């Protein structure tokens, strides 16, 4: 164990990232000195706060290449998604009642869609291929005369695959259908160009891009104009889209985080890709290790692997020197394996055996080396304990076994 390593090693950057110390420094004065309400027009405290909020808006807009006026501050991606989907569905409900999304979306989208179904909308949940990607022909076939909105995430949170947002945008625009993109996992990892993309609504968050939790934004296109039914009523902040006093220190944090992301993204991506490749090469030396989701059309920060014949929760318990998450949701009291991996058509064993490693700005080569050794030891130990591994080694095809249900 190298003395330079600090344990546990954090490899869960897709759950949340640490706030970059430069971001934290920038935020602090807006808590203690420049604490004015950005909506106060009558004194310098308010002016100062408003100026900083608008500067932050420019930084966010610059990263995703949109007009700063198209951004609405929210509390994070979940709120942005709720505002986009409910707001658009309710506003355009006289035009149609059909919405389209994908089975592998984040719960923030899926659960909002369920709520809209309860309100009388019809939702199509599209399948993905074994690579995790949406087939455009299938999407086109799902569109109806009364389809008002399509919602697809940019980068999947569990497997990191990048959907073909440019092509989906072209298709939706040609049919006059609104297109919402959940970009929570995309900012700072892949290029997002709202000038080129035919995207009408985009949900953003700060805390996956080295900013603070509790702040996000919704991009609402003005040309051509997208209308939304307001979900949060009050003082009419943010052009009436979202009332509530602006959390100026959070906003300044998001702005600084996005400013740094724009500056450092290209170099960071290549550095992380090298680390990810090193991690994969090391773990691939074991037998029966599978990558979940396409490896090419994927952000380099994500590596989701199934260690066949080892159950995910016990593996996470074993690898206590590293902080990762299990694709299987056993730990959250549901005994179902990951619905994302199920949607890829992964067998139950493989879906129950997955680990998501997500790397980021502060991941080092030493940490990756340690992780490889640690995983190899623990997987070997658990396989010695596994009756499935024993059967596999005896040449038994597990898919032919009749299991007693319980």
Partner 1 sequence: MAYSEKVIDHYENPRNVGSFDKGDDSVGTGMVGAPACGDVMKLQIKVGKDGIIEDARFKTYGCGSAIASSSLVTEWVKGKKLDEAASIRNTQIAAELSLPPVKIHCSILAEDAIKAAVEDYKKKHGKDQAAKEKAA
Cβ 8 to partner 1 shortest distance, Å = 16
Cβ 382 to partner 1 shortest distance, Å = 8
Binding-site string for partner 1 from residue 255 to residue 274, where x marks contact by CB under 8 A and - marks none: --------------------
Residues 373-392 touching partner 1, rule: CB under 8 A, are: 384-390
Interhelix angle 365-385/248-283, rounded to 10 degrees, is 60
Cβ 374 to partner 1 shortest distance, Å = 15
Among 1, 32, 41, 404, interactor with partner 1 by CB under 8 A: 404
The two counts, helices (H) then strands (E), for the chain are 13, 13
Cβ 384 to partner 1 shortest distance, Å = 7
Among 331, 325, 321, which Cα is nearest to 375's? 321
* Alpha-carbon span 47 to 37, nearest angstrom: 8
Report how many residues bind partner 1 under the rule CB under 8 A. Answer: 28
Residues 6+ apart with CB under 8 A from 308: 288, 289, 290, 349, 350, 353, 392
Whether 172 is catalytic is: no
Interhelix angle 44-64/248-283, rounded to 10 degrees, is 30
Residues 6+ apart with CB under 8 A from 206: 76, 212, 213, 215, 216, 250, 253, 254, 257, 258
Q: Which is nearer to partner 1, 31 or 335 (CB)?
A: 335
Binding-site string for partner 1 from residue 317 to residue 346, where x marks contact by CB under 8 A and - marks none: x----------x-xx-x-x-x---------
Residue count (the chain) = 406
Going by their DSSP bridges, the two strands 302-307 and 354-358 should be labelled as: antiparallel
From the candidates 66, 172, 190, 330, which is the catalytic residue? 330
Binding to partner 1 by residue 348, rule CB under 8 A? yes
Starting at the edge strand found earlier in the chain, the sheet holding 71-74 runs 71-74, 216-220, 201-205, 178-182, 147-153, 98-102, 122-126
Q: Which is nearer to partner 1, 3 or 387 (CB)?
A: 387
* Alpha-carbon span 4 to 364, nearest angstrom: 11
Cβ 103 to partner 1 shortest distance, Å = 19
Among 349, 358, 361, 368, interactor with partner 1 by CB under 8 A: 349
CA–centroid distance for 209 within its chain:
11
Q: Which is nearer to partner 1, 30 or 309 (CB)?
A: 309
Binding to partner 1 by residue 405, rule CB under 8 A? yes
Binding to partner 1 by residue 395, rule CB under 8 A? no
Q: Which is nearer to partner 1, 2 or 406 (CB)?
A: 406
Q: What is the per-residue burial (b if ≥16 Cβ within 10 Å, else e) of 101-138?
A: bbebbbebbbebbeebeeeebebbbbebeeebbbeeee
Residues 277-316 touching partner 1, rule: CB under 8 A, are: 309-311, 313-314
Cβ 308 to partner 1 shortest distance, Å = 10
Q: Would you please indicate which residues are annotated as catalytic (active-site) residues?
A: 330
Residues of this chain that interact with partner 1 (CB under 8 A) are 309-311, 313-314, 317, 328, 330-331, 333, 335, 337, 347-349, 352, 384-390, 398, 403-406
């Amino acid at each position: 164990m190298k003395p330079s390593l600090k344990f546990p090693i954090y490899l869960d950057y897709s759950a949340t990232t640490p706030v970059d110390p430069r971001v934290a420094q920038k935020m602090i004065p807006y808590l203690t000195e420049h604490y004015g309400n950005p909506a106060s027009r009558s004194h310098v405290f308010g002016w100062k706060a408003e100026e900083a909020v608008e500067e932050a808006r420019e930084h966010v807009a610059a990263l995703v290449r949109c007009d700063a006026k198209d951004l609405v501050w929210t509390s994070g991606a979940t709120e942005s998604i709720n505002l986009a989907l409910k707001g658009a569905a309710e506003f355009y409900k006289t035009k149609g009642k059909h919405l389209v999304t994908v089975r592998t979306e984040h719960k923030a989208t899926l659960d909002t869609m369920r709520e809209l179904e309860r309100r009388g909308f019809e939702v199509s949940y599209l399948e993905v291929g074994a690579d995790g990607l949406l087939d455009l022909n299938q999407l086109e076939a799902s569109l109806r005369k009364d389809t008002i909105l399509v919602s697809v995430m940019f980068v999947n949170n569990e497997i990191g695959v990048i959907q073909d947002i440019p092509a989906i945008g072209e298709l939706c625009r040609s049919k006059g259908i609104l297109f919402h993109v959940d970009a929570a996992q995309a900012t700072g990892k892949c290029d997002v160009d709202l000038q080129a993309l035919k995207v009408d609504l985009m949900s953003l968050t700060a805390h996956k891009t080295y900013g603070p939790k509790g702040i996000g934004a919704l991009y609402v296109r003005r040309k051509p104009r997208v209308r939304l039914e307001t979900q949060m009523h009050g003082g009419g902040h943010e052009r009436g889209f979202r009332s509530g006093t602006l959390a100026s220190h959070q906003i300044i944090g998001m702005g600084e985080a996005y400013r740094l992301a724009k500056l450092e993204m290209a170099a960071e991506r290549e550095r992380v890709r090298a680390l990810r490749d090193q991690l994969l090469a090391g773990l691939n030396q074991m037998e029966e290790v599978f990558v979940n989701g396409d490896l090419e059309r994927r952000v380099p920060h994500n590596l989701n692997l199934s260690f066949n014949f080892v159950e995910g929760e016990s593996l996470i318990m074993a690898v206590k020197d590293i902080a990762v998450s299990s694709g299987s949701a056993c730990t959250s009291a549901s005994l179902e394996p990951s619905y994302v991996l199920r949607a890829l058509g992964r067998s139950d064993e493989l879906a129950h055996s997955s680990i998501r490693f997500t790397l980021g700005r502060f991941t080092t080569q030493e940490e990756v080396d340690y992780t490889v050794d640690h995983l190899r030891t623990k997987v070997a130990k658990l396989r010695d304990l596994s009756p499935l591994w024993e059967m596999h080694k005896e040449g038994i095809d597990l898919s032919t076994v009749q299991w007693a249900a319980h």
